[in-house]
Chains A and B, each alone.
Chain A
């Protein structure tokens, strides 16, 4: 083996930490999504938009849909989470949020390992994803 090939075939510690956290977050998010979806479609929790009206809503553009259904964009769904349809957003937010947590988790691991550049990269990535998640950025609508 050459000198370079003697480097470990194993994943680095931060990679393992990231993978383990990602795995747990993904399973938890999926589980929550499935449970909340069944609560929604089987009518156990009352939806905000009646189920019979849904086929009318998804033919509209998003601006019309929000206006027609009187729904606010961004994190307003949190205030409506007691409705069956909006309850599903907990699982969706978990799936879309787990990567942010993973990056925040590996920052101290990288820093402790002396890999300060990648620790900064990790923090920067978490900030970028956090900015996207914050709801500050708007698509404008059409």
Chain B
């Protein structure tokens, strides 16, 4: 078997270990709700389990081209005994940490554009506060059902959405011209210098209202929605869209994270190992990216999200 094949196999096995582990965890911890001692793991097992599972998620997130938050919330809420309130709080902090870690480098490389991010962030961060408040006010089952439906929608989006390396933007629109949202970057693989500008700015900003609400409501992060809007609708080059989206999460998730923190939805015992696991997994994922076949892993990620989405849906419906 080739090295790439082995890596794909490892990723595949890891992915199937996540639900298997999670199922065994759930089975072992069922008595915790009523008892708390008999038949449950000792407390120190939980950070270790979270560390391992989120490490695998971190690897998969990089290889699958998704953010950590979008994997974390449906999988952890679907297969672990933690209440959705705490999973969303932890999910936002996980997504926020990933964005904070990536943001400075992307800004310095001029791949993330502050001029593009700031107007978008104003809208998205405001509405992620609204989303967080709605999410915390709604009954858990309703949020769980909506989360399941959203995750399944993300699967469809991942299956159908196209990408455009450098979209054709004949002329910048008035709003983006007034805001001076344009830039230049050099494509490292070809050395080509690419001038970019955007259009349909107003429509894009309107869509960020919905993206902000969903990010706050479900604690998912929102890279899955940011990139298509920035790239396909507003016409920013793919690299600029991906980098700006990642940086944007550091702002959007900050506002929603504060709502969850201030409402008591953060338990450090859950947050810290998850955050470390995802970050370590991301480091390994970046190294594997050079040799792995992202296409294969992407399919596995879509499969996992579909599975987790169905689980969230059935859990919310009480099936």
Contact = CB atoms under 8 A, between A and B. Distances in A.
**Interface SS of chain A:** helix
B5 to A, nearest CB: 36
B251 A140 contact: no
Interface in A97-142: 97-100, 106, 117-118, 121-122, 124-125, 128-129, 131-133, 135, 137-142
Interface string B4-40: 0000000000000000000000000100110011001
B268 interface: yes
B93 A140 contact: no
B205 interface: no
Q: How large is the interface on A (under 10, 10 to 19, 20 to 34, 35 or more residues)?
A: 35 or more
The interface centre, meaning the residue of A59, A99, A140 with most chain B CB atoms within 10 A of its CB, is A99
A119 to B, nearest CB: 10
Interface residues of B, number: 77
Contact of A88 (B114, B126, B183, B272): B272
B83 A5 contact: no
Contact of B136 (A1, A25, A51, A142): A142
B264 A55 contact: no
Contacts of A29: 100
A129 B255 contact: yes
B110 A15 contact: yes
A114 to B, nearest CB: 12
Interface in B225-258: 250-251, 254-258
Contacts, number: 216
B195 A139 contact: no
Contact of B104 (A23, A75, A95): A23
Contacts of A33: 272, 275
B254 A139 contact: no
Contacts of B186: 9
A80 interface: no
A31 interface: no
A58 B129 CA distance: 23
A132 B255 CA distance: 6
Given A22-B103, A121-B122, A92 B132 contact: no
A54 B43 contact: yes
A81 interface: no
Given A132-B129, A132-B255, A26 B107 contact: no
A5 B185 CA distance: 9
Interface stretch (B54-62, B137-145, B159-167, B282-290): B137-145
A86 B257 CA distance: 17
Given A9-B193, A10-B110, A139-B135, A22 B104 contact: yes
Given A62-B86, A125-B122, 11 more contacts: A10-B110, A12-B114, A14-B114, A34-B272, A51-B44, A54-B267, A58-B86, A96-B261, A129-B251, A139-B132, A140-B133
Interface of A: 1-2, 4-5, 7-12, 14-16, 18-20, 22-23, 25-26, 29-30, 33-34, 37, 40-41, 51-62, 65-66, 71, 73-75, 85, 88-89, 92-93, 95-100, 106, 117-118, 121-122, 124-125, 128-129, 131-133, 135, 137-142
10 contacts: A9-B193, A54-B43, A65-B86, A99-B251, A99-B254, A118-B115, A132-B254, A137-B262, A139-B259, A141-B263
Interface of B: 29, 32-33, 36-37, 40-44, 46-47, 81-83, 85-86, 93, 96-97, 100-101, 103-105, 107-110, 114-115, 118-119, 121-122, 125-126, 129, 132-133, 135-140, 179, 182-186, 193, 195, 250-251, 254-272, 275-276
